[in-house]
């Protein structure tokens, strides 16, 4: 469409030049001037035409990645890796594939810097996506439909195949313009982030293979922003997935007696509910940001004596269970929280027991909370802010990510890491139905990464200190 408009404008310019020359009986020098002007316009339009072609090609490559169904519960990573390897070959990047668990490949692409001894820059993304309920979507979640508004609908369009491809497109563009990095740049594509990274980043980051990359700073996923300002994250909350189990004597449905399994579990639900409200109030009253409070949400309830058509209505069950997704901010005290669970939410004195399906505590080796510094002590933060601004973007105050990302494993190792996905003017639709990203935002994000990569990989600063001084230990 842009190309057609350009052609119309070009035609119009030619007609106007000829008409002016004829009507005003222009002298030959003026006519020459007009012809020169016309020549310049043609050059400009040809250049614009070429950039429109390049943008279209970039969008098509993004869509090709999106249609690869690397989806849980059993993602097949081979087609995604094959596609990314073909991209690497096309761009001219070195590639290594590691397997820390069977059929869970980690792909690392490398653009060697002029000084490979300097610690490197690592851009990470995960290849896996969460499942999608196809029938509840406007378009097939694995067809990457591009609609008339320029929105691309696909699972992974925001989370986070966009980012992985934007890294590659930015490198493609920088290589084409002859840029040569000073520091080495690595781009990793990891599996299994959506299920906790146990067979992905959790094994990769502490490995010898990772150490050999000599990483100074990492970029990983962030979130879309519904307004003009990009969001950036320098820490994240720790997921604790708690299951409380209640037992008690069964009894007739008509009888009032103490300590039934459900009565005890409901008491816990009441306490947890009040705690939840107190945390939510802090957000509602503007006293804390979402990432700074403890969130606790019930995610399942299991009780009752089943029948083929429902539940027995006159038996009080002898067991019941409830599951909670709890997220602890970096400054919360995990020991105090353990105590709260053991003594108030699930005490043995009320015939309750508890287990964790997931219990991550984002702490460094000294047991202190990990936050990547966002002040002048961290050159990478300053460089990130500057390059986003230089690319014409605006960036908000650093935030704590509500959920968990692979960046936690990196921060754990004392390496600064930022969560950043350049998607402004975009509703947050990760894990939602009808996840989409507009082509304009996708392309703008490539411009942003061009600046970031150019700036980060040109930085020759005090590398020996970058790993320690830029990491806050509170």
User: Rule CB under 6 A: which residues touch ligand AME?
Assistant: 196, 239, 358, 403-405
Distance in angstroms (rounded) separating the CA atoms of residues 349 and 264: 10
* Minimum CB–partner distance for residue 246 and Zn ion (Å): 32
Q: What angle do CA 72, 78, 81 make, to 5 degrees?
A: 105
Closest-by-Cβ residue to ligand AME is 403
Shortest CB 429 distance to ligand AME, Å = 12
Catalytic annotation, residues: 128, 193
Shortest Å distance, C-beta 154 to Zn ion: 14
Specify the DSSP class assigned to residue 369. B
Closest of 461, 386, 385 to residue 183, by C-alpha: 461
Please identify, using beta-carbon distances, which residue of 66 and 223 lies nearer to ligand AME: 223
What is the C-alpha separation between 281 and 250, in angstroms, rounded? 38
Residues 252-281 that bind Zn ion (CB under 5 A): none
Kindly write out the interface string for residues 203-242 of this chain, putting x where it contacts Zn ion by CB under 5 A and - elsewhere: ------------------x---------------------
Tokens of 227: 């307004």
Whole-angstrom distance, CA of residue 350 vs CA of residue 342 = 11
Rounded Cα–Cα distance for residues 329 and 282 (Å): 14
Give the sign of the dihedral formed by CA 139, CA 142, CA 144, CA 149: positive
How far apart are alpha carbons 361 and 118 in whole angstroms? 31
Query: Which residues lie closer than 8 Å to 466 by C-beta, 6 or more apart?
Result: 119, 216, 217, 379, 380, 416
Residue selected from 152, 160, 346, 443 as contacting Zn ion according to rule CB under 5 A: 160
- The interaxial angle of helices 439-458 and 161-176, nearest 10 deg, is 60
Query: Whole-angstrom Cα distance, residue 408 to residue 387?
Result: 24
Residue 181 or 239 with smaller CB distance to ligand AME = 239
Residue 196 touches which of ligand AME, Zn ion, none (Cβ within 5-8 Å per kind): ligand AME
By a kind-dependent CB cut-off of 5 to 8 A, residue 239 interacts, out of ligand AME, Zn ion, none, with ligand AME
| Host H or E run for residue 323 | strand 319-328
By beta-carbon proximity to ligand AME, the closer residue of 70 and 457 is 70
All residues at 6 or more sequence positions from 335 whose CB lies less than 8 Å from its CB, including other chains: none
What distances in angstroms separate CA 158 from CA 67, 195, 200, 445, one per listed residue? Answer: 14, 17, 20, 12
Please, which residue, 350 or 411, has the CB nearer to ligand AME? 411
Instruction: Count other C-beta atoms under 10 Å from residue 213's C-beta.
Output: 19
Shorter beta-carbon distance to ligand AME: residue 72 or 180: 72
Nearest Cα residue to 467 out of 411, 383, 387? 411
Residue 404 touches which member of Zn ion, ligand AME, none, C-beta under 5-8 Å by kind: ligand AME
Number of residues that bind Zn ion (CB under 5 A): 3
CB of 403 to ligand AME, least distance (A): 3
Q: Give the rounded distance of the alpha carbon of 364 from its chain centre.
A: 22
- Element housing 355 (H / E): strand 352-359
Q: For Zn ion, which is the closer residue by CB, 136 or 284?
A: 136
Nearest approach, Cβ of residue 125 and Zn ion (Å): 8
Which partner, Zn ion, ligand AME, none, binds residue 160 by CB below 5 to 8 Å per kind? Zn ion
Q: How far is the CB of 197 from ligand AME (least distance, A)?
A: 7
| Residue with Cβ nearer Zn ion (200 or 248) | 200
CB of 156 to Zn ion, least distance (A): 9
Which among ligand AME, Zn ion, none contacts residue 282 (Cβ within 5 to 8 A by kind)? none
Nearest-approach distance from CB 421 to ligand AME, in angstroms: 11
**Under the criterion CB under 5 A, does residue 435 sit at the interface with Zn ion?**
no
Longest dimension (CA), the chain: 108
For Zn ion, the closer of residues 159 and 413 by Cβ is 159
Q: Which does 250 bind (CB under 5 to 8 A by kind): Zn ion, ligand AME, none?
A: none
Return residues touching Zn ion (CB under 5 A).
159-160, 221
């Amino acid at each position: 469409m842009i190309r057609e408009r350009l052609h119309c404008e070009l035609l119009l310019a030619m007609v106007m030049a000829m008409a002016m020359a004829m009507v005003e009986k222009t002298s030959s020098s003026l006519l020459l001037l007009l012809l020169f002007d016309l020549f310049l316009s043609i050059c400009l339009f040809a250049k614009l035409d070429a950039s429109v072609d390049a943008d279209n090609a970039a969008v098509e490559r993004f869509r090709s990645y999106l249609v690869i169904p690397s989806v849980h519960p059993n993602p097949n990573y081979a087609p995604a890796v094959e596609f990314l390897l073909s991209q690497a070959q096309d761009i001219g990047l070195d590639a290594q594939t590691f397997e820390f668990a069977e059929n869970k490949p980690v792909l690392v692409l490398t653009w060697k810097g002029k000084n490979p001894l300097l610690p490197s820059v690592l851009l990470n993304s995960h290849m896996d996506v969460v499942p999608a309920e196809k029938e509840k979507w406007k378009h097939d979640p694995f067809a990457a439909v591009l609609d008339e508004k320029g929105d691309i609908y696909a699972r992974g369009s925001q989370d986070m195949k966009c980012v992985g491809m934007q890294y590659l497109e930015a490198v493609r563009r920088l290589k084409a313009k002859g840029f040569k990095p000073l520091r080495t740049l690595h781009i990793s594509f990891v599996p299994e982030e959506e299920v906790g990274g146990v067979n992905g980043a959790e094994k990769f980051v502490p490995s010898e293979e990772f150490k050999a990359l000599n990483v100074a700073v990492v970029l990983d996923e962030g979130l879309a922003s519904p307004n003009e300002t990009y969001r950036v994250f320098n820490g994240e909350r720790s997921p604790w997935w708690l299951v409380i189990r209640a037992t008690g004597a069964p009894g007739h449905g008509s009888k009032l007696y103490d300590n039934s399994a459900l009565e005890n579990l409901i008491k816990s639900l009441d306490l947890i509910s009040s705690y939840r409200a107190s945390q939510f109030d802090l957000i509602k009253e503007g006293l804390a940001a979402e990432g700074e409070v403890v969130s606790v949400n019930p995610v399942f309830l299991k009780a009752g004596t089943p029948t083929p058509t429902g539940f027995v209505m006159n038996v009080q069950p002898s067991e019941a269970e409830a599951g909670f997704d709890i997220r602890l901010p970096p400054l919360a005290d995990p020991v105090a929280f353990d105590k709260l669970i053991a003594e108030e939410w699930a005490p043995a004195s009320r015939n309750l027991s508890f287990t964790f399906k997931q219990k991550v505590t984002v702490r460094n080796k000294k047991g202190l909370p990990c936050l990547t510094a966002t002040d002048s002590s961290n050159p990478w933060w300053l460089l990130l802010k500057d390059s986003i601004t230089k690319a014409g973007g605006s960036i908000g105050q650093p935030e704590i990510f509500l959920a968990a990302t692979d960046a936690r494993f990196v921060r754990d190792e004392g390496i600064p890491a930022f969560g950043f996905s350049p998607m402004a003017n975009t509703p947050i639709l990760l894990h939602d139905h009808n996840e989409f990203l507009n082509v304009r935002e996708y392309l703008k994000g490539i411009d942003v990464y061009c600046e970031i990569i150019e700036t980060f990989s040109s930085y020759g600063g005090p590398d020996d200190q970058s790993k320690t001084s830029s990491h806050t230990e509170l």
